[in-house]
Amino acid sequence: MIRIGLGHDTHRLEPDRRLVIGGIDIPHSQGAVAHSDGDVLLHAVTDALLGALGWGDIGEWFPDTDPAHAGADSAHLLAQVVTKMHAAGWHVINLDAIVFAQLPKLSPYKNAMTLRVAELLAIETEVVNVKAKTGERVGPVGREEALCAEVVVLIQHQHSE
């Protein structure tokens, strides 16, 4: 059996905040406003996995009203889902992601993001693809007010290969 999941996340940007995307610290004058570390890519990956599994969404698993998740490392949140996914007999076949940010330019960081996502999912880097797009100066992304990510993931149950 195979399943597909779609994940999305958006965060507002503000000056003098840390910017983490795909588990990678990226130097920039602005960072994500969030209850956790605001990693839009890892949040979208987590949501895509939860969707494929039919297990709800990231807000249900890690609500921003829970003080336990304040400032949380998104890699740790994703790891919790991956551990339960593997225990249930599922593994990732492939993942395709897009990160939308006007600035900073993300091309220099795409390889590091790909490596980190693959590591967190315990899969080969060849089956992870991370793309970066600008907002073409349109909308909140284009005006550098926000950044977002979209992820599609394909998973397979280990007994259905």
pLDDT of residue 160: 53
Q: What is the pLDDT of residues 88-101, one digit of tens each?
A: 999 999 999 999 99
Number of domains in the chain: 1
Distance CA 161, CA 159 (A): 6
Q: Kindly state the average pLDDT of the residues 145-149.
A: 98
Split at pLDDT 50, 70, 90, the class of 68 is: confident
User: Residues 21, 107, 27, 62: what is their CA dihedral angle, to the nearest 10 degrees?
Assistant: 0
pLDDT at residue 161 above 70?
Answer: no
The CATH number of the domain where 8 resides is what? 3.30.1330.50
Domain extent, residue 46, equals 2-160
Find out whether 30 and 106 touch, Cβ atoms under 8 Å: no
Mean pLDDT, the chain, rounded, equals: 96
Find out whether 88 and 159 touch, Cβ atoms under 8 Å: no
